[in-house]
Amino acid sequence: MRIGVTYDLRADYLAQGFGEEETAEFDSEITIAAICDALSDLGYVPVRVGNLRQLAGRLVAGERFDCVFNICEGLKGVAREAQVPALLDAYDIPYVFSDPLTLSLSLDKAMAKRVARDAGVRTPDFAVVENEEEARRLTLEFPLFAKPVAEGSGKGIAAASLISDRAALLRIVSDLVDRFHQPVLVESFLPGREFTIGITGTGAEAEVLGVLEVTLTEHADANGYGYENKEHCDEKIRYALVEDAEALAAAAVALAAWRCLRCRDGGRVDVRNDAEGRPSFMEVNPLAGLNPEHSDLVFIANFRGISYRDLIGRIMGSFLKRHLELLATNAAA
């Protein structure tokens, strides 16, 4: 089976003059090589394609793939993660991971929370503000937590994200709107434990891979699993696979959010507890990082004794259950 591999290579964008934080969601050569090696070991034929523009050029030129392993994050627009899947849908080429609707919905954290809340999944009270005037009218009780509504990799999250009064709220909203040119998600701060939950599979067959508790070390920036802490996780973050009652409750919330948002094949859900230890859905990452040395989903697999090859195999297994015709084609070949 010939599998196109689509991705945004961070080095390409850095070479074009984009900054470190702007490119935080994009992948390294280490990640792309690891995915291709794993696919080869599993008996597939990976073909490096690259980003959206590179994919479009090859499709227009007439090249086709049996399927695509897509980890493109995209560069522009609130639906940027959906662009490659939408193009593949237009060309009737199946792909691993979620569809354009889920990817657009999940990138907008507030929209994802609304859908999850409507499905009965607990999430903290929140509001979306676009300017200082809207922030002045906000009625949520302090303390609050603020971040860009549609960013990943902890971008925009720092010590100042935890807000204790109106003046601080106005400052952080103004700063985030100026820096990221998008609305700001403001939500009630949850002071309890923080988890990220790995999930593989789709729909009723989705299952929890493991629950990773995230705690800050003495070297970390305060108040959250933000950009700086993620970029330097070796010294700033302590990870532990946990299976206690609170972890299991967090896993149940994560799985419910994964299913109601129709995520597919593999990814992560972030959950945080309130002061009483009750878990709430924070956000979902249906295109989770797959760096073999630096990504939470891989950490979870490693803690569980699952090799990188087998993690990719689980993801591919979920995908192929949705495309049994490819199994038949591969067997015939």
For 15-57, give the DSSP string.
HTT--TTTTTTSBPHHHHHHHHHHHHHTT-EEEEEESHHHHHH
Q: How far apart are CA 260 and CA 120, in angstroms?
A: 9
pLDDT, position 222: 58
Distance CA 192, CA 299 (A): 22
Element (DSSP H or E) covering residue 227: helix 227-231
Q: Which amino acid, 331? A: A
Instruction: Yes or no: say if 87 and 54 are a contact pair by the CB < 8 Å rule.
Output: no
At a CB cut-off of 8 Å and minimum separation 6, what does 134 contact? Answer: 173
φ, ψ dihedrals at 184, nearest 5°: -115, 130
What is the rounded CA–CA span in Å between residue 229 and residue 161?
Answer: 14
Determine the pLDDT at residue 191: 95
Predicted confidence pLDDT, tens digits, the chain (333 residues): 999 999 999 999 999 999 888 888 899 999 999 999 999 999 999 999 999 999 999 999 999 999 999 999 999 888 999 999 999 999 999 999 999 999 999 999 999 999 999 999 999 999 999 999 999 999 999 999 999 999 986 888 888 999 999 999 999 999 999 999 999 999 999 999 999 999 999 999 999 999 999 998 766 665 555 556 555 566 778 899 999 999 999 999 999 999 999 999 999 999 999 999 999 999 999 999 999 998 999 999 999 999 999 999 999 999 999 999 897 666 545
Treating both helix axes as pointing N-terminal to C-terminal, what angle do 29-41 and 308-321 enclose, rounded to 10 degrees?
70
Q: How far apart are CA 52 and CA 83, in angstroms?
A: 7
Q: What is the pLDDT of residue 115?
A: 98
Domains of the chain: 2-97+324-332 (3.40.50.20), 125-188 (3.30.1490.20), 191-320 (3.30.470.20)
Give dist(CA 169, CA 69) in Å, integer.
41
Predicted TM-score (pTM) of this structure: 0.92
DSSP reduced 3-state for 267: strand
Q: Any residues with CB less than 8 A from the CB of 224 and at least 6 apart, and which?
A: 145, 154, 157, 158, 161, 162
